Amino acid sequence: MDIIKRKRAQAVARIISKGYLSTKRVYVGMATCEIAAGSKEVMDIFRQAIANGLTDVYLSQKGCAGRCNLEPTVEVVEEGKIPYKYGKVTPQRAKDIIEKHLKKGEVIREWLI
């Protein structure tokens, strides 16, 4: 019985640490074309923010959206709200999305696609 309790506690801790229960989800386009457009650097900005204490955010990658002229793209999905997709996201824009949208709830409308 103790082994089951320990395994369950480990599984719950893993789910929480991966951010699966977060109310905010960020998806960075990481198809080959988006990587060529700079999405790896954008993904690194979000990873660094989470490593430095940004909470309640699940970060993942997504495949090609077929919008090469707008890459890199970042989609922000919040519980109970419509998803927002940002285009032409640079590392600086990623930092602004973190500070304004994720931390303060301010959508940066001029970057939406």
* Domain-wise residue ranges, the chain: 22-111
Q: What is the pLDDT of residue 59?
A: 96
Q: Which CATH class is domain 22-111?
A: alpha beta
Q: Tell me the mean pLDDT per 10 residues along the chain, length 113.
A: 87 78 94 95 97 94 88 95 97 98 97 96
- HEC profile for the chain? CHHHHHHHHHHHHHHHHHCCCCCEEEEEECCHHHHHHCHHHHHHHHHHHHHCCCCCEEEEEECCCCCHHHCCCEEEEECCCCCEEECCCCHHHHHHHHHHHHHHCCCCHHHEC
| pLDDT value at residue 20 | 77
According to the model, what pLDDT value does residue 18 have? 73
- Look at residues 107, 102, 61 and name the one whose alpha carbon lies nearest to residue 84: 107
- pLDDT attached to residue 26: 98
Asked whether 61 and 44 are in contact (CB, 8 A), the reply is no
The pTM of the full predicted model, rounded to 2 decimals, is 0.86
Q: Give me the pLDDT at residue 87, please.
A: 97
